[in-house]
């Protein structure tokens, strides 16, 4: 369902002009009640919408959905209903909260059951992550990293423009926004040292990313043509793929990232549907040379998402350290998915696929401290006068993102986490 017809709509729920969760959004997540129950939810303005309550009150009666789908620890069963039903639920919500509707607006008793103050909501990881894959799809980021570690003339490896590079990551350590974590320990080796040492990373970094959720399964051996990929992408979240750069430098040869990236990843709690993002589609950068036929598609497959990374020290003022955009991505989500399935790898509902670090062409749009400080050689000066080469203990990193066009705003909220001291 496209949002293009929604521009005249306003809601009887008040919200500010810069609100992420407008009537044009209606994302999905999981909230935990004071009694410990998990409920599928949505949000508008400053109110979390309890979908379990709406279903029990009969607002989704036409769809005949079991209550267990809504009283659930994760959204996987909800997503498994298929887009025909989940889009219909979203359409019902848009109708219920539109100024033109009086059904819920006039029923204060139902409102008491359905609407909760979002500042008091205990938001949870929205999906049981079946599998997690991290890609490496920003040409600016890949070029910057290649320039740092190799000859700038050979910054991109020969395969980079031909194939969406990715690796399988750790699903169990993906955490919802607000989950703090300890600085990881690991092996590192100084350039002038003969042997490695073990201890806390000295080069802890964030990675500004987006992720998409798979909403339709494939069988082992089945592939997904490019022109069918949109059927399999349910929605998107903000994603921070925390990285220990010194650990990564020592361990990544010959098999790639391992302990340097599997200790924590942070996601936002609300999955914004692809239908809500439809008005913000844009063309992706020109791919040269032309990609192989199975990666060629039509239409606009990138999305204009304004992104911001905020660094918040334990004391003192916070600072915006990066302003970027998802539209810069060289490889689209559709190409990532088509490639992932091209060898017959079976896709599962709840699979989470991250974009890789999102960097733009200018230094203020770089999506990691590695790039922003050029591997620590150009420290960032914070408002209190302290410097950051990488992330320190008690620092909090906040990623925010939103789309805006023709008076329609659709946002993602935030992905936030604080770094605690390493454990012994």
Q: With DSSP H G I counted as helix, E B as strand and the rest as coil, what are the percentages for the chain, rounded to 5?
A: 25, 30, 50
- Alpha helices by DSSP H, listed for 43-98, are 51-56, 76-80, 83-96
Contacts of 16 (CB under 8 A, 6+ apart): none
Within 10 angstroms of residue 172's Cβ, the number of other Cβ atoms is: 8
Instruction: Give me the sign of the Cα torsion angle 382, 384, 390, 396.
Output: negative
Tokens 């696929």 sit on residue: 353
Catalytic residues: 141
Rounded to a whole number of angstroms, the CA Rg of the chain reads 22
- Tokens found for residue 150: 């190799």
CA angle, 294 then 340 then 205, to 5°: 125
Q: Are β-strands 132-135 and 352-354 bridged in parallel, bridged antiparallel, or unpaired?
A: parallel
Euclidean distance between CA atoms 93 and 261, whole angstroms: 38
Euclidean distance between CA atoms 397 and 202, whole angstroms: 17
Within 10 angstroms of residue 238's Cβ, the number of other Cβ atoms is: 27
Cα distances from 289 to residues 19, 139, 292, in angstroms, run 41, 14, 9
- Alpha helices by DSSP H, listed for 97-138, are 108-114
Within 10 angstroms of residue 305's Cβ, the number of other Cβ atoms is: 25
Secondary structure (3-state) at 57: coil
Do 398 and 377 contact (CB within 8 A), yes or no? no
Secondary structure (3-state) at 19: coil
Euclidean distance between CA atoms 79 and 53, whole angstroms: 18
């Amino acid at each position: 369902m496209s949002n293009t017809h929604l521009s005249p709509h306003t809601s009887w729920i008040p919200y500010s002009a810069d609100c992420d969760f407008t009537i044009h959004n209606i994302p999905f997540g999981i909230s935990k009640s004071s009694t410990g129950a998990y409920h599928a939810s949505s949000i508008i303005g400053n109110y979390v919408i309890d979908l379990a309550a709406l279903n029990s009150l009969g607002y989704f009666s036409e769809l005949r959905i079991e209550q267990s789908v809504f009283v659930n620890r994760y959204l996987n069963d909800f997503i498994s209903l298929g887009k025909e039903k989940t889009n219909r639920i979203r359409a019902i919500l848009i109708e219920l909260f539109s100024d033109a509707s009086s059904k819920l607006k006039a029923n204060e008793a139902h409102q008491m059951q359905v609407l909760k103050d979002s500042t008091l909501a205990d938001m949870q990881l929205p999906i049981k992550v079946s599998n997690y894959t991290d890609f490496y799809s920003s040409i600016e980021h890949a070029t910057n990293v290649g320039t740092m570690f190799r000859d700038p003339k050979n910054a991109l490896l020969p395969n980079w423009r031909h194939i969406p590079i990715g690796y399988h990551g750790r699903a169990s350590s993906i955490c919802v926004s607000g989950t703090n974590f300890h600085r990881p320990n690991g092996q590192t080796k100084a350039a002038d040292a003969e042997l490695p040492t073990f201890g806390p990373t000295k080069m802890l970094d964030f990675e500004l990313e987006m992720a998409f959720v798979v909403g339709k399964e494939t069988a082992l051996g089945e592939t997904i043509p490019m022109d069918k990929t949109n059927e399999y992408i349910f929605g998107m979240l903000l994603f921070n793929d925390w990285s220990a750069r010194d650990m990564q430098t020592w361990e990544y040869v010959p098999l790639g990232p391992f302990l340097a990236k599997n200790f924590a990843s942070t996601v936002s709690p609300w999955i914004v549907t692809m239908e809500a993002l439809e008005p913000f589609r844009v063309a992706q950068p020109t791919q040269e040379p032309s990609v192989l036929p199975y990666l060629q598609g039509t239409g606009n497959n990138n999305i204009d998402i304004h992104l911001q990374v905020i660094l918040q020290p334990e004391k003192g003022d916070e600072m915006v350290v990066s302003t970027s955009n998802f539209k810069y991505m060289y490889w689209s989500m559709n190409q990532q998915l088509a490639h992932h399935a091209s060898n017959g790898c079976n896709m599962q509902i709840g699979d989470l696929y991250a974009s890789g670090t999102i960097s733009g062409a200018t230094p203020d749009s770089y999506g990691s401290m590695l790039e922003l400080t050029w591997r620590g050689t150009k420290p960032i000066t914070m408002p209190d006068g302290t410097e950051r080469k990488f992330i320190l203990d008690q620092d909090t990193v906040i990623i925010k993102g939103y789309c805006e066009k023709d008076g329609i705003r659709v946002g993602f909220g935030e992905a936030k986490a604080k770094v605690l001291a390493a454990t012994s």
